[in-house]
Amino acid sequence: MDLHANLKPVAALVGVWKGPGQGFYPTIKTFDYVEELTFTNTGKPFLHYQQKTWSPTGTPLHTETGYLRIPSPGNVEFILALPTGQTELAEGTLVEGEAGFEISLTSTLHNSSSAKHVDATTRKYTLSGDVLEMRFGMAAVGQPMTDHLAATLTRVE
């Protein structure tokens, strides 16, 4: 299946990425985790996205799913659903470099009535060769925008 022309700048994302991460936030104890991201070509102008995390001992921690779109050159949209009761619409930029690219996103969130309240998030994905760095920031539960997650992922063959 051919990759849609709009997605050519992020073609290198297609596949599975996995690696160690660390979580931190003013209201929690710092923790280590393992993260896996899967970007799947659908033949449409978006990539299907799935994220899963586990504790170092293999206990499931989090998952989310959604779609990555490049509606126009340099512009990125990430539409996500989280089982914690949020939907996230992230928009931002794609800056291409010699060895990869950087995607920077800021999100608008909707929270279900039973969810912990999340005001906003930021996401940054930096691809350099076969290394994908992920950074996630969050403003939630009365805290201002603060770094929350950082992971270094490599391509899984």
Mean pLDDT on 112-140: 97
| Residue 126 CA from chain centroid, whole number | 11
Task: State the average pLDDT over residues 34-51.
Answer: 98
Both tokens of 102, joined, read 């950087």
DSSP-assigned beta bridge partners for residue 115? none
Which of the four pLDDT bands, split at 50, 70 and 90, describes residue 114?
very high
Q: Is the pLDDT of residue 122 over 90?
A: yes
- Residue 137: pLDDT over 90: yes
- The CA angle 72-75-135, to the nearest 5 degrees, is 150
pLDDT of residue 154: 98
* Residue 157 pLDDT: 81
Q: How far apart are the first and last CA of the chain?
A: 19
- Asked if residue 98 has pLDDT above 90, the reply is no
* Neighbour-count burial for 143-155, b at 16+ CB within 10 Å, e otherwise: eeeeebbbbebeb
Half-sphere exposure of residue 104: CA atoms within 13 angstroms, side-chain side: 3
Helices (H), the chain: none
Q: Is residue 78 within 8 Å of 87, Cβ to Cβ?
A: no
